[in-house]
């Protein structure tokens, strides 16, 4: 009788369990099955253990991150590392993202993602894209995958599928170009053949490799993304290194331009105004380029615009002059934290004197990024400046070093306001100290600028480095076009006949062979207006500068009605 009662209890419990399970939404089981399918793809027992729930919970409790903290290009890897290395300073910085005094990292993030309408729509688009790929409609499938990735940008499976589609598109274009070149090889010269080879759109492969990296950030155990990134990464590294070599050659060509070149002098002055205009416009300043130039040249306020916006122009002008006249004079001296504080003091000198040149004292939140706690800022800034002046940073390409310093400062977010403008000043200071022209981040690229910063914050800084590379090369091209009428890299074909340039291999031998070396202050500031040149005051408030001390000291500004 007791045995029958025991069996009845078991059947009753099983019936209750089946009933409760049947009440769960079907999407839950589809999600579980998808996770199990990914789990069975893991190749080794070690990977199976690392993906288990108990291992993840244990790692979260002891505080070790389960996500890959940083993904670096080959030029940034420590010696001997070839894949997904630990880069001490940056990985430590990433770990501070969820740090809060008195709270454990265990509670900072939830273990699972809640399904939303966007993620469900993304899943539908993904499945439809798979069907379109099976039918051979690769273009339609690519559009659907891009749509799915926009709806659910943290889905490792969708990101990997989109990367594979972009990689296939790159392979198809490459194969078509190769076939075309082979069919016309008898009619093509070597020069034209190399031009065809360089016409292969490398952007798709670079984007594919970046998507694999993002997928691994979201799911480090996803084997398909790991395999794809290991396959594409060496090719992308070659693209990145070749791009930097081309820029080095352009810098060498730029140094062949004498300072007396009128086109170069004019473009330097124009770029000075553009630097101030675009750096302020990125932060929301509504003054146009012409209005910015008028404020700088006349020191007279522009009608219809707030004084705060015009004061932002004056502050950035004072910061640029301090950078030119003081920080670039002793180019061999290390950059110190106090130098950044002085730059920031000038950036906000006409806007907020109480916070100018001072670190923030409380926690701030910037969109979906939470900067480190305020009490950590002095230590982090000391570490940042130590890294900027270290041999490790000096071994990087100047553009990479400047881009990383820019991102690190924005990540720390040490000030209440003016972080972006100060970071761009630091970036250009690093570039100009080694002989590179300063880079302009244009207002039109604001969205891409913030997107690449966001990608860097989650673990992959290479898209941001490539973005800064684009900006630096664009500025360099402007200088070359002004001096030569062309930005072609072929120095021997386009440069002055009396100059012979040795084959460049890195920045150091380039600078040692320079014959016409311009001064380090590429930003040529306009001359200061005198009192006799000042126009008559307008009916509204006017701003007039009476003096500018040595070393870019803050000018005295008179407000008159």
Q: Which residues contact 40 (CB under 8 A, 6 or more apart)?
A: none
> What is the secondary structure of 248-308 as a DSSP string?
HHHHHHHTTS-TT-HHHHHHHHHHHHHHHHHHHHHTT----HHHHHHHHHH--PPTTS-HH
Q: Which residues contact 138 (CB under 8 A, 6 or more apart)?
A: 132, 165, 168, 169, 172
Task: Tokens for 209, please give them.
Answer: 């490799």
In Å, how far from its chain's centre is CA 542? 38
Q: Which residues contact 475 (CB under 8 A, 6 or more apart)?
A: 271, 437, 438, 439, 440
543 DSSP β-pair partners? 559
Q: Which residue has the tokens 């029958």?
A: 4
Q: Is 559 helix (H, G, I), strand (E, B) or coil?
A: strand
Reported as type and span, the H/E element at residue 8 is helix 2-23
Q: Are 256 and 408 in contact (CB under 8 A)?
A: no
Task: Tokens for 179, please give them.
Answer: 């076939």
> What is the secondary structure of 58-89 as a DSSP string?
HHHHHT---S---B--GGGSPTT--SS---HH
Task: Tokens for 306, please give them.
Answer: 């707030």
Q: Where is the binding site for ATP, in residues?
A: 366-369, 417-424, 449-450, 457
In Å, how far from its chain's centre is CA 7? 65
Is 447 among the residues known to form the active site?
no
In Å, how far from its chain's centre is CA 26? 40
The alpha carbon dihedral of 92, 98, 104, 107 has a sign of negative
In Å, how far from its chain's centre is CA 102? 32
Q: Maximum Cα–Cα distance for the chain, whole Å?
A: 114
Q: Are strands 542-545 and 557-560 parallel, antiparallel or unpaired?
A: antiparallel
Of 355, 475, 375, 342, the residue nearest 415 (C-alpha)? 355
What span, in angstroms and rounded, lies between the C-alpha atoms of 552 and 329? Answer: 12
What span, in angstroms and rounded, lies between the C-alpha atoms of 509 and 144? Answer: 49
> What is the secondary structure of 475-516 as a DSSP string?
HHHHHHHHHHS---S-HHHHS-TT---PPP-SHHHHHHT-SS
Residues annotated catalytic, as ranges? 413
């Amino acid at each position: 009788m007791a045995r029958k009662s025991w069996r009845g209890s078991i059947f009753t419990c099983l019936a209750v369990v089946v009933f409760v399970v049947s009440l769960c939404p079907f999407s839950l089981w589809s999600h579980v099955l998808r996770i199990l399918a990914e789990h069975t793809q893991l190749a080794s027992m070690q990977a199976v253990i690392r993906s288990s729930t108990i291992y993840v919970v244990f790692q979260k409790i002891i505080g070790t991150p389960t996500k890959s903290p940083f993904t670096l290009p080959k030029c940034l890897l420590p010696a001997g590392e070839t894949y997904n290395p630990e880069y001490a300073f940056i990985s430590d910085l990433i770990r501070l993202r969820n740090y809060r005094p008195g709270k454990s990292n265990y509670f900072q993030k939830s273990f699972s993602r809640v399904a939303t309408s966007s993620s469900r729509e993304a899943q539908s688009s993904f499945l439809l894209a798979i069907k379109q790929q099976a039918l051979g409609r690769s273009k339609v499938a690519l559009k659907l995958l891009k749509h799915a990735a926009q709806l659910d940008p943290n889905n490792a499976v969708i990101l990997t599928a989109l990367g594979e589609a972009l990689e296939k598109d790159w392979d198809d274009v490459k194969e078509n170009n190769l076939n075309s070149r082979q069919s016309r090889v008898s009619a093509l010269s070597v020069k034209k053949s190399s031009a065809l080879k360089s016409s292969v759109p490398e952007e798709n492969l670079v984007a594919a490799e970046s998507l694999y990296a993002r997928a691994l950030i979201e799911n480090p155990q996803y084997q398909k993304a790991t395999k794809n990134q290991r396959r594409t990464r060496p090719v992308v590294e070659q693209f990145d290194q070749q791009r930097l070599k081309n820029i080095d050659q352009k810098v060498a060509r730029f140094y062949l331009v004498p300072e007396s070149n009128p086109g170069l002098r004019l473009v330097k002055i124009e770029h000075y105004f553009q630097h101030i205009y675009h750096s302020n416009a990125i932060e929301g300043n509504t003054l146009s380029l012409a209005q910015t130039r008028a404020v700088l040249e006349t020191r007279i306020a522009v009608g219809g615009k707030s004084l705060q916006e015009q004061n932002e122009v004056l502050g950035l002008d004072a910061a640029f002059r301090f950078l030119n006249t003081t920080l670039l004079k002793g180019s061999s001296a290390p950059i110190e934290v106090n130098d950044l504080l002085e730059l920031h003091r000038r950036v906000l000198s006409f806007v907020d004197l109480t916070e100018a040149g001072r670190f923030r004292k409380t926690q701030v939140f910037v969109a979906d990024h939470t900067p480190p706690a305020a009490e950590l800022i002095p230590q982090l800034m000391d570490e940042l400046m130590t890294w900027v002046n270290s041999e490790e940073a000096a071994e990087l390409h100047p553009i990479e070093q400047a881009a990383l310093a820019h991102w690190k400062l924005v990540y720390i977010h040490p000030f209440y306001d003016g972080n972006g403008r100060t970071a761009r000043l630091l970036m250009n200071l690093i570039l100009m100290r080694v002989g590179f022209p300063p880079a302009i981040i244009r207002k039109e690229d604001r969205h891409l600028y913030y997107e690449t910063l966001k990608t860097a914050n989650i673990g992959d800084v290479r898209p941001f480095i490539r973005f800064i590379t684009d900006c630096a090369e664009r500025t360099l091209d402007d200088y070359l076009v002004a001096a030569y009428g062309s930005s072609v890299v072929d120095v021997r074909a386009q440069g002055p006949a009396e100059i012979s340039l040795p084959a460049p291999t890195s920045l150091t031998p380039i600078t040692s062979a320079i014959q016409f070396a311009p001064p380090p202050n590429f930003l040529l500031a306009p001359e200061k207006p005198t009192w006799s040149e000042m126009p008559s005051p307008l009916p509204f408030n006017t701003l007039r500068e009476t003096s500018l001390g040595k070393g870019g000291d803050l000018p005295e500004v008179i407000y008159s009605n």
